[in-house]
Structures are given as C-alpha cells and as structure tokens.
Amino acid sequence: MAPPTPSSHRPRKRRKPDSSNGTVTLNKATKQEQPTFPLVAFLWPARTANVSQWIIIPIILMVAFLFRWCTSLWPYSGYQKPPMHGDFEAQRHWMELTIHLPMTHWYFHNLEWWGLDYPPLTAYHSWILGQIGHFVNPSWFALYLSQGMDDMDLKVFMRASAIVSEYLVYIPAAVLCVRQLAKLHNINAWESSIALTAILMQPATILIDHGHFQYNTVMLGFMLATTASMLAGRPLWSCVFFVATLGFKQMALFYAPAIAAYLAGSCLFPRLDTPRLFGIAIMTLASFAVLFLPLLLGTAFDTYRSVPLPTDAVLPPPPMSALPWQVAEKAWYYPYLVQLTQAVHRIFPFARGLFEDKVANIWCAVHSSGIHKLHGYDSTLLSRAALALTLASISPPCLLIFLKPRKELLPYAFATTAWGFFLCSYQVHEKNVLLPLLPMTLLLATEGGMKPATRAWVGYANILACWTMFPLLVRDELRIPYFVLTGLWAYLMGLPPCSISAYTASYEDGGLSIVSKLIQLSTYAGMVAWHVAEAFVTPPAEKPDLWVVANVCLGAAGFGICYLWCLWRLLQESGILSDLGLDKKSVNEKKAQ
Amino acid sequence: MAEYPTLLQTSLVATALKVLLWPAYRSTDFEVHRNWLALTHSLPLREWYHEKTSQWTLDYPPYFAYFEYTLSQLGRFADENMLHVSNLGYDSWNTIFFQRATVIVTEAVLIYALYLFIQSSPAASKKQSHAAAASILLSPGLLIIDHLHFQYNGFLYGILILSIVLARKKSGLLASGFVFAALLCLKHIYLYLAPAYFVYLLRGYCLGPRSIFDIRFGNCVKLGLGIGAVFALAFGPFVYYGQMEQVFSRLFPFSRGLCHAYWAPNVWALYSFCDRVLIYGKIATMKVPLKDGADLRLTAAPYLKLAIDRDAVNSVTRGLVGDTSFAVLPNISPRMTFILTLAAQIVSHPLKNAPRQQKLKPNIQTHQPALIKLFFTPTWHNFVSTLTLCGYASFLFGWHVHEKAILLVIIPFSLLALTDRRYLGAFRPLAVSGHVSLFPLLFTAMEGPIKVAYTVTWLVIVLLAFDWLAPASPQPRVFLLDRFALLYIAVAIPLMVYCSLVHQLVFGARYEFLPLMFVSTYSAIGVVGSWLGFLVVFFTS
C-alpha cells in the first residue's frame, strides 16, 4: 500500500480552529485532543479536514430529516381512537374546513369537532396545505365525510406537510440564528455546527411535531427568525417575524413581554431613539394588519356575495359586547368587527380551566399533589391569582432586559419569561414546554455554551421536559421513539443517564457547583426510578394517578429550578450585580441557589 | 491514535435510527423468517425441509435453520403465537419488535468483525481502515435490505468479514477457513466466493511458501477435517435421515428465469435493454405488427418516443420477466454461454458464467485469470481483490441474480477502496449504482424519502471522506475514466427525480416498468463500468 501523500491534493489544515467552547478536551495521558462528548466526535472529521459549511450544513439537515421522518413512521395522536381522535384530526379538520367553507365561517364553524381556535396564520397555512392535499386526493379533505380519517396515504401527506413546513421556516431560521449567535460570541463555524445539530436534534420538538403531530416548529421557527433579526440588529424585521409567531400560535405570548421589553429598552437606552420607537410601533401594527388582511378581504367578498353566517353562530361574539361602544348591525364595518372579535374569542378561551390535563406547572402540582386542592375556588379568583403570579415571575427578566437591552441577554430573557409563563399562567399544556426550551437550547450556540455547566443545564431542561411529556407520548403509543430520541440526545450530549462526564469537571474548569450537581443528579435519579416504578409497579387502587402526579410534581420542581437558573444567569450576565457593587465572591455563593 | 467517531459511537447512533424504523414497511421476507422461526420451533428436525404449510419453505442451509431455532427460544417470551406454523402472516407488534430487534442485535457480529479489521490493519492505513469500516457499518444496502426489507445480512456479512480478517494473519488461516465453511452452511449464496477461498487456502495454507510442490500434509488434514466437521454438523442429521436430496432441491430451485423480476443490474439487464431498444427501433422504422398480432400504434408520443399500445408493451415485459425470451436478440442458451466462456478464457479475462444446468459451479472456470494471479501471489490484498472479482462475476453473469446480491461485491470492495486513488476510481460508480439499484425494493410512499435521503447522505459523506483519505496511486490514473465516473454520478440525480416523482406525475400507474428499466440499466452500466475499472487496476498493479 502506498503511503499517503498529502501533497497530491489541497492542504488539509488551513488554520487550527480555536476550541474555547468546551467541545475539545486535552487527554492528560496521551497529550492529544479528544472530543468532549459524542456529538463532537461525529463532527470531528470536519474539524481536522476543515470542511466547507456548504457540505456540513446539508449533511446535518439530511440527518435531522432522517430522524424526523423515521419518527413519523410511528402512530400519531388519536390514531384509530374514536370518537374524538386527536391533534392530527384537528389539523386535518382545519384543512378540510378552510378549503370548503366560506372564510366568514372559519371561526364560527362547529367548535365541538375541533373548531378552529388558532390565529389566522394557522388558518392560512391549513388552507394552503388543504389545497395541495385536495389536489392530490380530494377524499382526504372531503367536507364532513373525511372526519376521523386514518388513511395511510393521508398520514404520509400530513407527515410530509409537517416536515416541509419545518424545513421552510424552522430550519433556515435556526441556521441563521445560530450563525448570528456565532458572530456575536465569536465562535468558529465548526462549533456552531455542533450547536446547530444539538438544537435540531432536540428530542421534545421532534417527538411532539413528528410523533404526536403538530406544527409547533412553524411557530418556533418564526420565533427563531425574530431572535435572529434582533441579533442582526434589525428590530423592524423582528417585529414582522414576531407578529407571524403570534399569528401562528397564540402561545407565543409567552415570549411577548420579553420581546416588548427588549424592543422598548433598545429604543430608550442608552439614549432615546424616537424614530426607532415609531418604526417599531408602525411595523407591528402594519404586520398585524397584513396578518388579518386576508380574513378581512374574505369577509368583504362574502358580504358582497351575501353569504350568511352559520345558523348556530352566537352574535355578537362576547368580546364585541365588551366593547365600550354599541355597534349597529347596519354599520358597514359590522361584519368585519364580528369576524375579528369572533377570532379573538376563539383564540383566547377564557372559559376553560386553570390547567389542562396534567401539566408540570405550579397549579397542577399544588392541586394534584394534595398540598392544596384548587377546585373549590372560584375560577375568576384563580385566574387572577394566576395572572398575579405570572406577572411576578416575568417582571424580573423583563425589567432586566428592558434596562440592559443587550443582545447577549436575549436567550436568557426569553427563556426566563417563557418559564415564568409555563409555570404560573393559565391554561397551559404540557406541550408548551417547547417554548421555554427553545431559547434555553439556543444557549449551546453561545460563548461557553458547550462547557459542562451550560450543557448540563440545557440538557437537564430538555430531558426533564421530554420526561414530563412521557404520559402524553404513551397515550400516543410513542414510548419507543421517546426512549430512542431522548436517549440518543442525552448520549450525544454526554449527559445522564448515558454519561456523567459533564458532572466530573470542577467548578473552576467551567463545571457545575456542588449544589447544582446534587440537584441535577438527584432529579435524573428520580426520573430513572420513576420509569422503573411506572413500568413494574401498579399504583395503589385509591391513587391510580400516582405516577402521573409524581411526574408532574418532580417536573414542576425541576422547571422551577430551570427558571431560577435562567434568571440567575440573566442577572449575572447583565452586569447589574457589579453595578450594584456585589462582587464576584457573593456571586459564587448565590450561584448555588 | 483513536479515530472519531469510533465504531461504537457510530453503531449506537445507527441503532437509534434502526429502532425508529421498526414500524416501517417490511417485505414478505419478514413472513418468511417468521415462518422459519415457527417451523424450527414447533417441528422436529426431520420435518424442517419437508414442511410446506406456508409457501415460504425453508430454503437456507441448516446452520441458518439452527440459528432460527435459537432465536425462536427467545421469541417465546415476546409472543408465543408467532411460533405456530399454521399462523400464516402473523404480525403482532411484539412479533415485529422481536424480529426487528434480532436483526439489530445479531449485527453486533458485523461491528465486532469491523473492529477486528481496524485492529488488524497496519498503522499507516488505520485511518483508511476506520473509514472503510464505518462505511460498511452504515451501508445503505444493509439498512435497506435488513432493517426495512428484512433479512439478516448484517449478521452474515459480519461472519464473512470476520473470516476475511482472520485470513490476514498466517495464524488465522485455519480459523478463517472454518468460519467461511460455517458461513456457507448459513447461506449458500456465498458459494460464489468459494473459489477465491479455495485457491487462497490451498496456496497459503496447504502448500509451502517456497514452492507449490512443498505440500504440507499436516495442514491439509487439519483443514480438511475441520471443514468436514463443520459440514457434518450442518448436514449430518439430514444425511442420517436420508433427506439430502430434499434439502438440495430446496437449496437450489431450478425453475427460475435468467433475470429476476426486478432486473438486477447485470449484463443480462443491459442485454435485455438492448433487446427492448431494438424492438422499438424495428417498430419505429418498419411499422410491423408485433408477433402476437397486437397492433402497435406509434402515438404522438409527447413525452417519450416509446409510448406504444399497452398490450404490446405488457407482452414484451412479461416475456422478459418470466422465462426470458428475447424478441430481437438471440436467446441465451447453455451452448452460447459455453462458447462465451471459451472466448473469455482466450482473451484471458473473467467473463462468462453459468450454463443453466450447473448454476453455481462454473465460477471456478470464470475466474481463472484472477485466481491464477492469486495462486502465484497469495497476498491478503490479492485475496480480497479476487473475492471482489468473484462477487462481480457471479453478480454480472449469474443466472437469476437478485439485486440484493450486489452487497457481495460492495462489501469486499469497500475493504479495498482506499488502497489508492485508482481503486477509489473504480469504487465510486459501484457505490452509486449498487445502492441506486436497491431502490426498487422499497416502493411505498412512506419509505421513499428514507431510502433516498439515507443513501444520498451516505454517498456524500463516504465519497468525500474517501476522496480525502485515499492515497495517491503509484501508477498514473486514466483521467478519462474519472470524468466518466463524475458524469455517471451526476446522472443519478435526474434519474432519481424522474423515477420517484416525474414518472408518476406524467404517466400515473402506466408504464410502471419504465423506471425499473431505467434504474436497472443505469445501475448495470455503473456495475459493469466499475468491474472493468477494477479489472484494469487489479491486473496492472
């Protein structure tokens, strides 16, 4: 065999990539560099060969696609589960109703069978997908006849639509956002690629969107685009994207206070910037106008054709009655106002309960653990309490980002605010945990993001979040994908239960403090023990929900700690502490929480 | 120095993907193996090769039946019901999970063999060996055939590689022979590789290194007895029951045609394609009605100049798939193959194979030149090269070849592809064509994206990595061949787009044979091209 002669082609090493970000460790025995966790090993060949981003990114995207599509092979929520089926049927039904009904009926159509209760962008998205699906096979979306359909080809179409939507919105936004973060934090392209892979392989997102079936990544993608625009110093674009985020799913309100605070702060500090303030206000209003424009145009068309509203429509919609002035039915703008208020009425259902099902937030944990039963209280009182607690939890991060509107703080501020909402607010689903997870996972792409401490915290939140969704995933028969994807991600990131390497680093080397280590490792132990118990021990007859309740309580506690950690990091990074004269030493002490 | 990602890391991530594939499409081979589990579990040994409740009778050699028997002992705990012979087509979730899991678990043999392969390679080529091993481990061929279609090739090729690696050291030759003998008793398709083993072990183990007349009787006896014992263990019980004729009739069914239904991309696919083109050529120029009287209207043909009356087309396809009669070109008869074999021997290149009556044996003649080279210079490198050539010859000229048999070429060749850039040049078209030719195995909408995305990803990574790692060759390369290879690879993209999307949009369900024919012909060109390239490299180096 001939010896390798590197001179025959272009040189392999152009420059030594700087590996400050915790991806490379020096083996003390052999004096050789080695990958810190397995994900780095997979990109290792790209490091030494200095491969172009035009090759690495497509490969990452194809691998991410493969795992998503293979998850899609598994059952979806409500598969062959009459009478109501599940989220899959909801999304399919929206396609059915948007392509067949006049636009004025969209928000009035039968609420009982998965009525449309998402903002207009979801409706338009459903309309487009419905049109394409109708072109392929009209029976999939035949009005009324197609309800509860579980045709295999329909599954392929729906799964493909989720992936295509994700690859059109979430994926480009993620690439751009990671690139902006790399620019901001001066991180080399190779380490950014590692972070990008870790973000794209987030198990919770894959499981919910491609297993359970939803289009969360579209909303999260717009959020990433918002973040990327802010990082790129384009606040006007961020307004457009954030309106799109909100317009796709109202749950994006979790981020809204932090975004408003940042944008407002960036107009006021270091000095008042009036044109920017006006620009932001006008752009936001204009975006909202564009968001509702198709609905209003559709209303105009239906009014022109004199299409009547459904017979069971309740007029006027409740928010309209709450308007301070009386609207005459003869007024030209009456039909438009009816549509807008009905949409708002559907999107924000104040009449529902404090929490839905079992979700790992404060209310559900307090209620179901038996510390204090909440069903005796008046619902207005409870919703006020929820509002007060939410405000209390989100005001510190919002205040901080308002006073220190720095780009480096954005992921922390978003994550803290979203955790606050998730833990304390009204009407939260277990799936909403994706919202705080996204900005928190983005931390991997920031400076020191893959050093043991940050990696462990980000991993902790992600794995805990998947674990709290386990009861939901079991209902969808997604037990195996749950174990595979969560296990794979934990393995790739070098985290428990696959490895404890992130916990062996000392605090001085960028590791965790003792208290954090204890908290995290004991939570992991709890999760593992819970899985064993859930699999082999039947709960006592008088407490059939014991395991679910245990899941909720441990989850809520863990998420609470994640909230505190994000808040603490935000406080640390903002520099407020040193402004106030608190020195580094006290910082270290407080870090232990 | 360790290479990253290590084999273990790679296999863990690959396993994650393979587990996610559990609910995916599976072919009738799944039911075949379930039936074998059932019959080995519930029937006594003497009935195994007589049992025919299911149409999928046991047609693998005895070791594989023993293997199924062992699995069935575990299968009891997964789902007792799958082990009833009469439970045809039984596929509960537990059955699927169990069978899919056995494929993944038994693949550990492959991982271990590849690990040994890296360990046994010299320090200078560790990096290259590591890349080759990872490429085999992640092979889209294995993914498509084992984890979607359903077979145990990972396990079987693991044993093959184990045997090849053992043959690398003088001390391992005996064990290598035993392992290969055991492999033959697991699946007899590996008989195609037997000539290379025969010559290599004869020259390297039974004859002295100095002279071919220095016969080492001790070694001969050891090898003979050992291999005899392996075979006796496999076939002994059936000899005892007097069932050998029955066993052989199961192992070598003779009623099949020249080409398998899907047209494995070999010489006969090209031959059939030429025949087809000539039919249309004749029709187009002479406007004659076809033999069976179907009137051939040459339509306006807006998409392809070949759009012809469906009946006629179907009759032509049926002829090709079934008993292989050619409309224009002469039919392939045993006498012709004999003449071609003679001609091949005169030009001293491996060329022709398999008169109809003796399907497997004639390889010994066909590989003579390569085998002679191996006989006179019995190096490990020549051994693996000859294995590859045996694989090529059997695949290209064999009777009723499955497209799955391409692994018989790709896997040994992968071990050599990084020898130098000339080998890589011959490997590239094979890597593309061999895997593209497997695409028709999966035709369901859900699995389409998996096969395409996985294969494309693998090709991009492997071709780039091999390109960086392959050392320059001592001899000058033929640059024209490289250009041809590049062009060939580029054509794969429009071809895949056509076959997976355009054809369906334009023709719907009509002319379903067209994409199959294109894929098969395209792949055949690649396989034949890479074979010629490999011959040139092997005989000039």
Q: CB distance from B446 to chain A under 8 Å?
A: yes
Report the residue of chain B nearest A65, measured CA to CA: B453
List of chain A residues whose C-beta atoms are within 8 Å of the C-beta of residue B469: 4
Angstrom distance (rounded) from CA A278 to CA B480: 65
Looking at residue A525, its pLDDT comes to: 96
Helices of type H across B145-216? 153-166, 173-186, 194-201
Looking at residue B190, its pLDDT comes to: 92
Angstrom distance (rounded) from CA A126 to CA B108: 46
Angstrom distance (rounded) from CA A26 to CA A34: 6
Question: What is the least distance, in Å, from the CA of B121 to any CA of chain A?
Answer: 11
Nearest Cα residue to A173 out of A242, A258, A251:
A242
Looking at residue B326, its pLDDT comes to: 62
Nearest Cα residue to A215 out of A375, A90, A79:
A90
pTM of the model: 0.90
pLDDT of B399 over the 60 cut: yes
Q: CB distance B23–A73 less than 8 Å? A: yes
Residues 121-180 of A with CB under 8 A from B: 152-153, 155-156, 159-160
Q: What tokens does A298 get? A: 């559709």
pLDDT of B35 over the 90 cut: yes
Question: What is the least distance, in Å, from the CA of A204 to any CA of chain B?
Answer: 15
Angstrom distance (rounded) from CA A47 to CA B489: 27
Looking at residue A329, its pLDDT comes to: 82
Q: What three-state secondary structure class fits A35?
A: strand
- Per-residue pLDDT tens for B262-296? 567 777 778 877 877 777 766 555 544 444 434 44
Question: What is the least distance, in Å, from the CA of A16 to any CA of chain B?
Answer: 17
Task: Report the DSSP beta bridge partners of residue A32.
Answer: A27
Is the N-terminal amide bond of B5 cis, ω within 30° of 0?
yes
pLDDT of B201 over the 70 cut: yes
Contact criterion met (CB below 8 Å) for A36 and A25: yes
- What is the dihedral sign for C-alpha A356, A361, A365, A367? negative
Q: Tell me the residue length of chain B.
A: 541
CA of A518: how far to CAs of A298, A350, A502, A551, in Å? Answer: 58, 40, 13, 19
Contact criterion met (CB below 8 Å) for B419 and A1: yes
Compare B278 and B191 and report the one with higher pLDDT. Answer: B191
Angstrom distance (rounded) from CA A182 to CA A193: 10
- Per-residue pLDDT tens for A519-572? 999 999 999 999 999 999 998 888 888 999 999 999 999 999 999 999 999 999
Angstrom distance (rounded) from CA A145 to CA A126: 18
Looking at residue A367, its pLDDT comes to: 86
Question: What is the least distance, in Å, from the CA of A75 to any CA of chain B?
Answer: 9
- Per-residue pLDDT tens for A371-393? 777 777 877 888 888 899 999 99
Contact criterion met (CB below 8 Å) for B432 and B536: no
Angstrom distance (rounded) from CA A470 to CA A534: 11
Question: What is the least distance, in Å, from the CA of B461 to any CA of chain A?
Answer: 8
Q: CB distance from A26 to chain B under 8 Å?
A: no
Q: What three-state secondary structure class fits B473?
A: coil
Looking at residue B443, its pLDDT comes to: 86
- Mean pLDDT, chain B, rounded, equals 81
Cβ atoms within 10 Å of A553's Cβ, excluding its own: 19
How many Cβ pairs closer than 8 A exist between chain A and B?
114
Angstrom distance (rounded) from CA A249 to CA A121: 8
Provide the CA A409 distance to its chain's centre, in angstroms: 18
Q: CB distance from A12 to chain B under 8 Å?
A: yes
pLDDT band at B191 (very low <50, low <70, confident <90, very high): confident
pLDDT of B537 over the 60 cut: yes
- Mean pLDDT, chain A, rounded, equals 89
Residues 163-182 of B with CB under 8 A from A: none
List of chain B residues whose C-beta atoms are within 8 Å of the C-beta of residue A59: 457, 460-461
* Residue-wise burial string across B192-231, b where 16 or more C-beta atoms lie within 10 A, e elsewhere: bbbbbbebbbbbbbbbeeeeeeeeeeebeebbeeebeebb
- Per-residue pLDDT tens for A217-237? 999 999 999 999 999 999 999
Contact criterion met (CB below 8 Å) for B259 and B331: no
Give the single-character DSSP code of B135.
H
Mean pLDDT lowest among A159-163, A350-354, B239-243, B317-321: B317-321
Residues 459-518 of A with CB under 8 A from B: 480-481, 484-485, 487-488, 491-492
Mean pLDDT for each consecutive 10-residue tract of chain A (593 residues)?
Answer: 45 47 82 90 84 92 97 91 87 94 91 89 96 94 88 94 97 96 92 96 96 96 97 95 96 95 92 92 96 95 90 83 82 90 86 71 85 78 89 95 94 97 88 95 92 94 96 94 97 92 82 92 96 93 90 95 96 85 54 47
Q: Which contacts of B368-374 are long-range, i.e. CB under 8 A and separated by 24 or more positions?
A: B369/B539, B370/B538, B371/B195, B371/B196, B371/B199, B373/B538, B373/B539, B374/B196, B374/B199, B374/B200, B374/B203
- Per-residue pLDDT tens for B460-471? 999 999 999 998
First-to-last CA distance in chain A? Answer: 61
Contact criterion met (CB below 8 Å) for B267 and B392: no
Q: CB distance from B213 to chain A under 8 Å?
A: no
Question: What is the least distance, in Å, from the CA of A206 to any CA of chain B?
Answer: 12
Contact criterion met (CB below 8 Å) for A298 and A254: no
Complex ipTM tops 0.85: yes
- Per-residue pLDDT tens for B38-51? 999 999 999 999 98
pLDDT band at B331 (very low <50, low <70, confident <90, very high): low
By the 10 Å C-beta count (0-12 exposed, 13-18 middle, 19+ buried), B376 is classed as: exposed
pLDDT of B105 over the 90 cut: yes
AA identity, residue A494 = G
Contact criterion met (CB below 8 Å) for B518 and B437: no
Chain A interface disruption, residue of B93, B468, B537, most A CBs within 10 A: B468
